[in-house]
Each structure stands twice: as C-alpha cells, then as structure tokens.
Structure 1
C-alpha cells in the first residue's frame, strides 16, 4: 500500500471521529473500530477519501482483538499508527459504583488499551517503525471526586504506557500519551448539562494538538502532552 495506515478505536464519535477525519485528509488509509457499526459508517461516509475500512470490535475481548487486528492487517496492510481511544466512564461515589460498572471501565479503558497495543507491537518491532497514541485523560494524572474507578483505570493505562515507552526506548517506535480534560462529546451527555458541555474543549482542537505532537521531528520526541480546559 502506498498510503500510511492508521487504526483508531472508539472511532464512532468525539475525538476518535475527529482524528479519523483529519488522518483521511492526510491521505492515510483509515480503519475505524468501535462497537456500533452505524456510528462508524456515519464517520466513514463523511470522509472525502475512499481509503477507509470499518470493523466492529469489543476491545475488552482479547480473543476478538487478536482476530480483528489479524483481519485488518491481512485486508489493509501493516498498521503504521494505532490510536487507543476507546473509553467509558461511570461516575458516582466509590461505594455506589456497581461491579458491572467496575468491570466495564477496567476492561475497556485498561485491558482494551493493553490488548490493542499488544496486537500491533510485534510487527512494529519487526519493522522498527510505528506510532501508538494512548488517549488517557487527565483522570490518569490526578484523583477526582466521583471518578475513583475511572481514575483507577486511567492510572493503569498511564502506568502501562510509561512502561512500554521505556521498553521501546531503543527503537524507532513513537508512543504518545495524551492527557486531556473533558471535550464536547456524547461521553458527557448524562453527566453534565448542555450548558456545562458548551464550556468543554472541542475535540477537533484536541485532535490538532495530538497530531502536531506525533509529527516526526529531528532530534526530539514527545512522550506525553497535557491538554486542559481553560476555565473562565
């Protein structure tokens, strides 16, 4: 394939969709992953490029991740960029968070990040090239009220990411950890009012900042970025 190939999890809305559209403009072959085909198809149809593939995937299933990533590579070639963007949040006081919600956040936010990264690392190491973007959230940097388990899952993703950065130190594989605050996405629909959501960041702006920091530059690498809401 002539085009570079990016795979984005959680690509059906929000930041994942913004990144997908921007990578399409950069002439990448874009592979969209998510749980809901209709949302992924909607994003794909917004692209001016026809270099797009859509696969449904539950990132919390190791077996499904291994199977789908194998299919993706066979169908579309080597993966040059992986964006681990899939995430879910359930917010309440620690004692009120149900076991199902605990499992969901740990399985998707932490295990999903690990499984998808594991799926691309062997081939990236063989080729000694590639980029992995870990979308983690500022919840991976500081504990927050009503977000105990969400933060636990994101702190775990942060620890995993910092460790693989060290493991890949002698390679040409670039790993970027992106820690951002809340964005204007459906993620917050049942948590914030419409007015509160209007004060959050635009995912297109966050996508621009991420892409600017993964761009290859001579004699430097950016291992992490923190993007915060400007509260007025």
Structure 2
C-alpha cells in the first residue's frame, strides 16, 4: 500500500479526530492541525504512530496558512489528502448574532476552507493527483432556524466546493463535499442537552462513510455525500 500524507484541520476532536485515527490505522502519515496544541498532542499520543505530525494554526489567517502549510510540506512531503474540517458555530436569532460571531464563522468556516484549499491546489495540479475533503454540514444545503450566519458560511463553502469540482474535472484530483447532520461531539455542548446529543450520529460512523466515498474506484467518483440523523 502506498503511504499517503493526510492533513486534517480541526483534528483535535470529533470527526477530525476520528478521521485522523482511521487514516493512521491505514498506515498513512497524518498531520494534525488545530488551535489547541494540548488536544492535538493528546490525540497524537493516543494514535501511537511514528507517522504523526502536529501543527497549531489559525486557518482564518491567510499568511499563517501559507507559512504553516509550507513548513508541513517541507518537513513531511507533498500533501496527498486535505481534510478541511475546522469549523465553528454560534447559534441565535439572526438579529442577535454579534459582529464578532459573524466574523468568526465567516473567517474560520469559509475563508479558512478557501485558504487551506489554495495552499494545496497548485501542487496537486502539478502532480495531477490529490484529494480534498470538505466537511460542510447539512447547514450548507438548507436554511435553519437560529443558524442564519452559520448557514451563510456553509452555503459559501458549498459554492466554493462545487466550483472547485468543475475546475479540477479534467484532472485526477478528487474533491468530496460531505454534508452531515449533528454528531456526538463537544460542538453541541452549549446548544443541545445531554439526551439530545445522545441521539446524534457517532463521528466514527461518519468517518467510515467519508473514507468509503473517497476510496479510489474504477470509472466512478463521488462529488458529494449527505449523511443525516434519523431525527432530521
């Protein structure tokens, strides 16, 4: 099996952590990116592999993304698979969402996805190979009460991703848009109560579906996958 270099943003918990663990178990080199070093270090120790790297990064800073991705490629080689998983959500009535919250969601969810994708695209096109997985959420498919700005940021990622799919259609680069509902992660701690969270999807199951969707197969490609809770 060819060892791939997988870079995952928002890798410290939830789906990012599940994908990192599964990619590592497959024998690939996994680079963990996040804002909190302690979470990334803890995951790296749990994975117990000599093919794990850790980098802290604010994906909303174009300069920082460019600098850190250059370091990652120099120290660990070309990036074969990028998982844009970093995200943040602040939920309230549209008129109550603060300017800071608006900036945070647009900067991290939308601009962060764009900046990280830009950091790998040129090299992937030169090598004519690579995979970009955009973790978008069902909030990128339909408007939701109390999620107006969150949905706006995710609709933006959807537009960027659909355009990207067309831009690389004549290459061997694969772009997957993953639209999933809520998962059992700390993302929902301040929004749902414990019983509601218990009925959400397991991130390990979602990770399995994403991995199956990007597995190379003859004469087919999966541009998007929608993964919903039974309660949706």
Provide the TM-score with structure 2 as the length reference: 0.99
CA distance in 2, matches of 1:173, 1:3: 17
How far did residue 93 of structure 1 move? 0.2
Describe the superposition over 1:20-54 as per-residue Cα deviations: whole angstroms up to 9, x where unpaired.
00000011100000000000011111113210000
Long gaps (5+) in structure 2: none
CA distance in 2, matches of 1:3, 1:213: 19
SS in 2 for 1:169: coil
CA distance in 2, matches of 1:201, 1:43: 21
Structure 1 residues 99-138: aligned runs within 5 Å: 99-138=99-138
Give the RMSD, CA atoms, in angstroms.
Answer: 0.8
CA distance in 1, matches of 2:50, 2:182: 31
Query: Corresponding residue for 1:231?
Result: 231
CA distance in 2, matches of 1:3, 1:49: 13
CA distance in 2, matches of 1:171, 1:92: 42
Describe the superposition over 1:127-163 as per-residue Cα deviations: whole angstroms up to 9, x where unpaired.
0000000000000000000000000000000000000
Q: State how many pairs are aligned.
A: 231
4+ residue runs of structure 1 moved beyond 2 angstroms? none
Query: Corresponding residue for 2:12?
Result: 12
Query: Corresponding residue for 2:168?
Result: 168
CA distance in 2, matches of 1:163, 1:223: 11
Query: Corresponding residue for 2:96?
Result: 96
Long gaps (5+) in structure 1: none
CA distance in 2, matches of 1:85, 1:43: 16
SS in 2 for 1:177: strand
Provide the TM-score with structure 1 as the length reference: 0.99
Query: Corresponding residue for 1:27?
Result: 27
